[in-house]
Structure formats: structure tokens, C-alpha cells
Amino acid sequence: MLFTDQLNNSIVLHSYPKRIISIVPSQSELLWDLGLRDELVGITKFCIHPKEMFNSIERVGGTKTLNIEKIRALKPDLIIGNKEENEQSQILELQKEFPVWMSDIYNLEDALKMIELVGELVNQSNNANQLKNNIQHSFLNILQVSKTALYLIWNKPYMAAGKATFIGDMLQKIGIENMLENTSRYPELSLEEIKSLNPAIIFLSSEPYPFKDSHVKELEDKLPNTKVLLVDGELFSWYGSRLLKSVDYLNDLIKQL
């Protein structure tokens, strides 16, 4: 069977996979929710949802620090990764030995296509298409608000979601103008640059940097006219089955703005 991933790589499988390693948290959760609980043999240390999966499946390192020897020992017949979240050099190494299917996600539409394609890849098309349809339907009920915002993902230095990111697309879905839409994908910002932008809102993500209430207060003190909020980074940036929870979360968030 011939499959094409979202980077237009072709992979050949002689049968549907029985030993799958997923090296991206949102895609690991997707596979689990599609029913691949016996087939999933390896995940990363960041694949924390659901807890049952995290506690029962062998971990093969971090998304960017894979333990290649552990992966070899698990003898996967399929590895599922992502262009942004995994290191290209490690992916190229793995592709020499295993079928590796890669996603490439910039917006909700890419995520929905990934769910459909992964469903075909693992012989779960019916479940995947039902999930895709449910997510699409949920986004018909999303609320909107017209505000400017920065979405910070890192501290010291500050880094933000910029141009052509999945986070930026989620902001757009709720009517938020990302003030860094015309920059690089994840630009660094000084405090003075943040002040000069004067956003109406600053979102502080729970991941990859775990912003806390103390960071909210620090920025509120320096930008008294800006609303600063901690937000659940998973519900802004995970692009698998967790998207089913995103609209309710985003609608509740809008009510705080």
C-alpha cells in the first residue's frame, strides 16, 4: 500500500501497521482516541494525554531528542512525526530504516486533513472521518471578538507565535488580530518592543514555557493598559483529537476579554 504524507513523501506499507511509534504529543493522543491502543508501542516523554497512554506506553525520548536505539529496539512498522516538532536530522536517520509518515500543519484545515490521512494510514478511516466531522461542526459555533493580541510561548527571551503558525490560525478563528502576523514564525521580543506594540491582550501560554501568575503580574505592572491572561497552550496548539475541546475553551476565554 502506498501512502503520501503532508511533505509529499511516499511510504510503502505491506500491511496496516501493528507496531506504531508516535513522536508528537497531539498525534499520539489522536492514535489512542482512534482505538490504536494495542498498536501504539512508543511515544515521547511529552505525550502526556491521556494519562493511561502515558503510563502504559514505552517512551522514546523527547520530540527533538529521540532515543534512536530505543526506537530500533521497538521494531516499529510505522513512525508518525511532524516537520516542526521533530528534528530533521533524526527524521532523516529514521527514514533510512523505517516507514516515517510526517505531518505539516499551519492551520485548522491542515489538521483536519492530517486526521483524515492518518485514519487511512492506520485503517481507521471511519473513526477518523467522524472525528474530523465533529471538529468541523464544533468550529461552526465559535464566538469572535475583535481585539489585538500577542501570544507568548517563551520567557527570557520573550518569544511569540508569529507568521503562519497553527496558534496564529486559532487566534484568527476567534477574531483576534495577531500583531506579529507579518514577522517570522516565532520571533524574539524585548519588553520595549512589546510595549511599543501596545497590544490589547497578551496571552501567556502554558507550554512550551510554563508561564505562571507571577509572569502575569510582571507584565501587568509594565503594561497597565494591556489585559494579560494565562491560557491553555494545548487547546491552542494541539492539532489532533484535542481539537474537540478547543471551541468550548475558546468561547469561555472570549467571555473574559
Residue-wise pLDDT tens digits, 26-60: 999 999 999 999 999 999 999 999 999 999 999 99
> Which secondary-structure segment (H or E) carries 105?
none
Phi/psi of residue 7, nearest 5 degrees: -105, 10
- Give dist(CA 211, CA 209) in Å, integer: 6
pTM of the model: 0.95
Mean local confidence (pLDDT), 105-134 = 98
Read off the pLDDT of residues 188-197 as tens digits, 9 standing for 90 and up. Answer: 999 999 999 9
Cα 96 → chain centroid: 26
Q: What is the pLDDT of residue 37?
A: 95
Domain ranges in the chain with CATH number 3.40.50.1980? 2-138, 147-254
CATH architecture of 147-254: 3-Layer(aba) Sandwich (3.40)
- Rg over alpha carbons for the chain, rounded to the nearest Å, is 19
Q: 136 φ, ψ to 5°?
A: -55, -45
Q: What superfamily does domain 2-138 belong to in CATH?
A: Nitrogenase molybdenum iron protein domain (3.40.50.1980)
Helix (H) or strand (E) segment spanning residue 106: none
Distance from C-alpha of 203 to C-alpha of 215, rounded to nearest angstrom: 11
The mean pLDDT of 112-141, rounded to a whole number, is 98
Instruction: Please write the tens of the pLDDT for every residue from 142-201.
Output: 999 999 999 999 999 999 999 999 999 999 999 999 999 989 999 999 999 999 999 999
Provide the pLDDT for residue 17: 98
pLDDT for 229 equals: 97
pLDDT for position 199? 97
pLDDT given for residue 172 in this prediction: 96
The 10s digit of each residue's pLDDT in 199-232 is: 999 999 999 999 999 999 999 999 999 999 999 9
pLDDT value at residue 198: 94
How much of the chain exceeds pLDDT 70, in percent? 100
- pLDDT score, position 72: 98
Which residue in 233, 209, 231, 230 sits closest to 218, CA to CA?
230
φ, ψ dihedrals at 229, nearest 5°: -130, 135
Q: What is the pLDDT of residue 147?
A: 95
42 DSSP 8-state letter: E
The pLDDT of residue 191:
95
Could you tell me the CA-to-CA distances from 64 to 87, 209, 230, 256 in Å, in that order? Answer: 5, 16, 26, 35
203: helix, coil or strand? strand
Check: CB of residue 105 under 8 Å from CB of residue 166.
yes
- Output the CA–CA distances (angstroms, integers) from residue 32 to 12, 40, 105, 170, in the order listed: 23, 8, 20, 24
Calculate mean pLDDT across residues 70-92.
98
